[in-house]
Amino acid sequence: MAVKDLPSEKNSSVKEETFTNTRRNIILAVVTCAGFLGPLAGNIYIPILPLMSEAFNVSTSIINGTVSVFMAVFAFSPLVWAALADVGGRKSLYMFSLLIFLVANILLTFLPAHIGALYTLRVIQAIGSSSVLSVGAGTVADITPPTIRGKTIATFMLGPQLGPIIGPILSLATTNGQWRWSFGILSIFTIVVYIAILFLLPETLRYLVGRGECYEGKSYFVKPKLYEKKRTAEDAKYPKPPKLSPLLYFKLARYLPVLISSVAGGLLFASFYGISVTFSRVLTNDYHFSNLHVCLSYLCPGIALIIGSMISGRLSDKLRRNRIAKGISFIPEDRFPIQLIGFLVAIAGFTGYGWTCEKHSHVVSIFVTVFISCFGTTWVLVTNLTYLTESAEGIPASNVAFGNFMRNAGAAICSGIITKLVERMGYGWCFTGLAFVNLGGATFMILLFSKGKHWREKYGYLTK
């Protein structure tokens, strides 16, 4: 998980960083683990939906609604958390939001099986866990220069991407009907991460601590604080963040680089979630997999997410280094050409998954197409997230929160309607339709590649 400075890099953006490699890697490890919690809460739950339906004595549609509600709240809440983090600091937000998440998990572990309570606490779960992706991306932007940001973002994304691998495996604890264990496991993990945040994670918001000069020569253990006072002199390099205002996101919705990038990412993530939700049903109903085998099957998409993420992040940074070494200027939009590869791979995977399910092809073909879909999806999303941290200086967490809103809103909608779409259209045409939707997303990225620099200059005032 370590991310080291690149010794061959000669530009000043690396030299200006004063966070040591060790401290940077500690911070990265903590926020990556924190980023694991929300997706874990979602993915430990999906394989046991049939079990939850029986335990709560409700229909499949009603229990699937708890997934849609979770994703809808998970989409909206970061808009609030990120705006607060860009103004008041990162660490206090981690502490407060994850405390909410912990309380919700403890209550879910012990309360009676009541569908109203499940819906309510899943909402609270989502509120608490939703802060980490956007605030964590802001933390990564604080501690790393653009020269290694793609690789560092890819490492940070390991947390969210481990959810699809480890969540279903941990759900094996529920195979004997003990569904409460899923929330008990979440509680234990959250406590461990919370302790790490208290004692190992310093404040990183640049307006408050600058480049981290105040931590030079200090212990890697930090004293827990609810709020960090400003510890650096006023500097034009670290301007005061915009005042907290709901208008911020209306401005970002008019800021075309963030809007277009977020919409493209949202369409892709919605399609990915369509696969995630239907995968267990296909394996159970059409291929008669046991609950154990279904849970283990989620290793396939999870491994694809990790491999695609790490390759994409490193390739993005290598592209940047090569251009700079040749004396060619590099702008954030120059990361987009490799995104098109990911879009094409994902589109092929979505189409293949739909028709292999439709034709009841050999189960190996299902796994291959799921792997291809997830590989292409994460390939795109890593560079997409990196671009959001670079496209508007000073508010990276808010930019990422806006993108996160689009992604999870798409996931919530797709998880709510995918079953009906498959029933009416069949798997083949349903996922072919999603593939065509993502051709539109790829077209958006081509447009942003050609016009992005102009739009950042023209509409940059909207991010001030």
Q: Where are the alpha helices (DSSP H) in 201-235?
A: 206-209
Would you say the C-alpha torsion 260, 261, 262, 268 has a positive or negative sign?
Answer: positive
CB 188 within 8 A of CB 428: no
pLDDT, position 462: 54
Q: Over the stretch 285-329, which tens digit does the pLDDT of each residue have?
A: 899 988 778 878 888 988 898 899 889 888 888 888 888 888 888
Q: Measure CA 88 to chain center.
A: 22
Would you say the C-alpha torsion 460, 93, 79, 1 has a positive or negative sign?
Answer: positive
Return the residue matching tokens 């399910």: 357
Return the residue matching tokens 């909608």: 413
**How many other C-beta atoms can be found within 10 angstroms of the C-beta atom of residue 374?**
28
Residues 91, 94, 95, 99: what is their CA dihedral angle, to the nearest 10 degrees? 180
Give domain limits for the chain.
15-234+246-463
d(CA 414, CA 274): 6
Q: Which of 241, 73, 231, 225 is nearest to 141 (CA)?
A: 241
pLDDT, position 63: 86
d(CA 114, CA 112): 6
Return the residue matching tokens 């800021």: 255
Q: What is the mean pLDDT of residues 47-51?
A: 76
pLDDT, position 429: 96
Overall fold of domain 15-234+246-463: Growth Hormone; Chain: A; (1.20.1250)
Q: Using the predicted structure, report yes or no on whether residue 268 has a pLDDT greater than 80.
A: yes
Return the structure tokens found at 260: 């277009």
Residues 158, 159, 162, 167: what is their CA dihedral angle, to the nearest 10 degrees? -170
pLDDT, position 143: 87
Kindly give, in sequence order, each residue whose CB lies less than 8 Å from that of residue 93, ignoring residues fewer than 6 positions away: 81, 84, 85, 131, 135
The CA radius of gyration of the chain, in Å to the nearest whole number, is 21
Kindly give, in sequence order, each residue whose CB lies less than 8 Å from that of residue 411, ignoring residues fewer than 6 positions away: 71, 75, 269, 270, 272, 273
Q: Over the stretch 102-160, which tens digit does the pLDDT of each residue have?
A: 999 999 998 888 899 999 999 999 999 988 877 888 888 888 887 788 888 888 888 88
Q: Over the stretch 27-41, which tens digit does the pLDDT of each residue have?
A: 999 999 998 898 888
CB 416 within 8 A of CB 68: yes
Query: What whole-number percentage of the chain has pLDDT above 70?
Result: 88
- Banded model confidence at residue 416, pLDDT cuts 50, 70, 90: confident
Q: Which of 347, 319, 314, 312 is nearest to 333 (CA)?
A: 319
Q: Over the stretch 150-203, which tens digit does the pLDDT of each residue have?
A: 888 888 888 887 776 787 778 776 666 678 888 999 999 999 999 999 999 998
pLDDT, position 67: 81
Determine the straight-line distance between the first and last CA of the chain, rounded to whole angstroms. Answer: 34
Diameter of the chain by CA atoms? 65
Query: Residue 243 has what DSSP assignment?
Result: P
